[in-house]
Amino acid sequence: MERDAKFATRRKLLAVSGSVALFSLAGCLGDDDEATPDDDGDDHDDHDHDHDDHDPADEVQDGHFDEIGIGEFEILDRAHDPHEEVAYMHDDHWHGSLPTVPPGDTVSLGAYVEDEGGDEIELGDEYELKAAVAAGADDSVVSFDYHGDHVHIIGEEEGVTEIVFLVWHGDHADYQTDAITVQVSDEGEDDHGSVAEFEILDRAYDPHETVAYVHDDHWHGDLPVIPLDDTVSLGATIEDDEGDEIVMNGEYELRVDLAEGAPEDVVSFDYHGDHVHVIGEEEGVTEVVFQLYHDDHVDYETPAIVAQVSADPDEEGDHDADAIADVHILDRAHDPHEEVADHHDDHWHGELPEVPVDDNVSLGAVFEDEDGNEIPLGDEYELRVALAEGADDIVSFDYHGDHVHIIGEEEGETEVVFQLYHDDHVDYETAPIEVVVIEG
């Protein structure tokens, strides 16, 4: 490996310079002034040699270890400003993935580390960030440079290997992550951006029924309520950004996990390759994330979505797609506000007001459940609006809790959907409705 060759060359130079120093001393005994620079040079060489003796590779163990008590360990891609989290350790495994390393080039990675008490562990002085090839992994693919609070991963040759990150203290490692995959390639690798469609399927139906899907960074739809002491069986359809389905056939698997910080005792999980079972352990509400699992690591993770466990699931889910009976859209330009469109079942009556270019219309809504009860907007629940799938982006939006502004960006026609937003996800979404943008 090139890095090993550099170290070997360096050791030879140290040996030669040491011999030269001895020869000089032998020829100048008693000349203290001449000996002093050579003594300084010897000290410098000895320091470098000691550094070699504590190569991080010598500290690597077979698995994760922790002598500090670390609660959070996040890897940051320093190519972004601000630095962007790309992967983090959860228990003894990774979520996310590392950026692809170009051959003959580097990626610069930092870390954010907290102890179990929530206090940040500063990197750069007493503690340093280091990385090394994982035990048994190919050590010809990457090498490393260390800079205290960050590391450079250098692409030596195209290929895939595994590395570990270390919290270095003095001359040893106090913490080691689990192994994570790193790829060296000039073509890039499938990362989070390569997953374009992620749909969750309820396998209780034949054919399986889509109950929720990810759009940008949020969910549309919701999961079925999970019976207490029973399971729901969920599959997924996943497509990359070229429209090709990612088949879960052993190389790729569907996984599900608790969202970070979510209640832990409500559900548990079983994995079955192309589907998962979510098991109701006790009544309550928690949040989960779905994952595309590949070669012992997570390639992609969805946003969090609510999972509810109930002893009587037929009585739950007041605000799911079946429980919203009516949505009334109100034009706030009138006093009192005037209903301009009504959504019932899966279609609209009425139409939205025209939107002038460089101006906006202000719209409110009334959501009613099957019992005719209005769902209050503005606090726990919010009104949102978004472009319908595949629609032209000639409008933009502002959100204000109980109402929204649709802003005209350019003339034309497009379609939008209105949403009932709850706890950072979409509980309900209407069918598309047309919006016309006219000259201002």
Rounded distance, CA 260 to CA 95, Å? 11
Please check the confidence at residue 188 and state whether its pLDDT lies above 60.
Answer: no
Distances (CA, A) of 296 to 162, 179, 180, 239, 437: 11, 9, 9, 20, 49
- Longest Cα pair distance anywhere in the chain, in angstroms? 104
Backbone angles phi, psi at 214, to 5 degrees: -90, 135
Q: Which of 133-137, 312-316, 398-402, 420-424 has the lowest mean pLDDT?
A: 312-316
Nearest C-alpha neighbor of 176 from the set 143, 121, 130, 123:
130
Beta bridge partners of 73: 113
What tokens does 194 get?
């390569």
Beta bridge partners of 175: 66, 167
Residue 257 or 20, more confident: 257
- Confidence band (pLDDT; 50, 70, 90) for 335? confident
CB-based contacts of 319: which residues, under 8 Å, 6+ apart?
369, 375, 381, 420, 422, 427, 428
What tokens does 356 get?
């002038």
**For the chain, the helix, strand and coil percentages under 3-state DSSP, each to the nearest 5:** 15, 50, 35
Concatenated DSSP letters for 254-274?
Answer: EEEEEPTT--SSSEEEEE-SS
Q: What is the pLDDT of residues 62-80, one digit of tens each?
A: 888 989 999 999 999 998 8
What integer is the mean pLDDT of 95-119? 90
What tokens does 410 get?
């350019």
Task: Report the Cα–Cα distance between both ends of the chain, in Å, rounded.
Answer: 65
CB-CB neighbours of 162 under 10 Å: 20
Residue 32 or 419, more confident: 419
- Tell me, what's the pLDDT at 396? 96
- Tell me, what's the pLDDT at 53? 53
Please check the confidence at residue 119 and state whether its pLDDT lies above 80.
Answer: yes
> Across all residues in the chain, what is the average pLDDT?
82
What integer is the mean pLDDT of 344-352? 91
Please check the confidence at residue 256 and state whether its pLDDT lies above 80.
Answer: yes
- Tell me, what's the pLDDT at 422? 83
Backbone angles phi, psi at 135, to 5 degrees: -60, 125
CATH architecture of 324-438: Sandwich (2.60)
Q: Which of 26-35, 132-141, 394-403 has the lowest mean pLDDT?
A: 26-35
Please check the confidence at residue 171 and state whether its pLDDT lies above 50.
Answer: yes
According to CATH, the topology of domain 59-184 is Immunoglobulin-like (2.60.40)
- Tell me, what's the pLDDT at 232? 95
Please check the confidence at residue 314 and state whether its pLDDT lies above 80.
Answer: no
According to CATH, the topology of domain 197-314 is Immunoglobulin-like (2.60.40)
Beta bridge partners of 86: none
Please check the confidence at residue 240 and state whether its pLDDT lies above 90.
Answer: no
Rounded distance, CA 108 to CA 143, Å? 12
What integer is the mean pLDDT of 88-109? 85
- Tell me, what's the pLDDT at 157? 94
Rounded distance, CA 311 to CA 433, Å? 38
What integer is the mean pLDDT of 284-305? 89
- Tell me, what's the pLDDT at 77? 92
| Domain limits, the chain | 2-53, 59-184, 197-314, 324-438
Nearest C-alpha neighbor of 162 from the set 189, 145, 190, 142:
142
Q: Is 118 left (phi over 0), alpha (psi -120 to 50) or beta?
A: left
Q: Which of 91-95, 200-204, 235-239, 314-318 has the lowest mean pLDDT?
A: 314-318
Please check the confidence at residue 54 and state whether its pLDDT lies above 90.
Answer: no
Distances (CA, A) of 19 to 6, 39, 194: 20, 13, 57
What integer is the mean pLDDT of 154-183? 91
Answer yes or no: same fold for 197-314 and 324-438. Answer: yes
99-134: b or e for each residue (b if 16 or more CB lie within 10 Å)? bbbbeeebbbbbbebeeeeeeebebeeebbbbbbbb
How many residues make up the chain in this entry? 440
Rounded distance, CA 400 to CA 55, Å? 55
- Confidence band (pLDDT; 50, 70, 90) for 20? very low
Please check the confidence at residue 47 and state whether its pLDDT lies above 70.
Answer: no
Rounded distance, CA 310 to CA 289, Å? 20
What tokens does 212 get?
């929720």
- Confidence band (pLDDT; 50, 70, 90) for 56? confident
Q: Model pTM?
A: 0.39
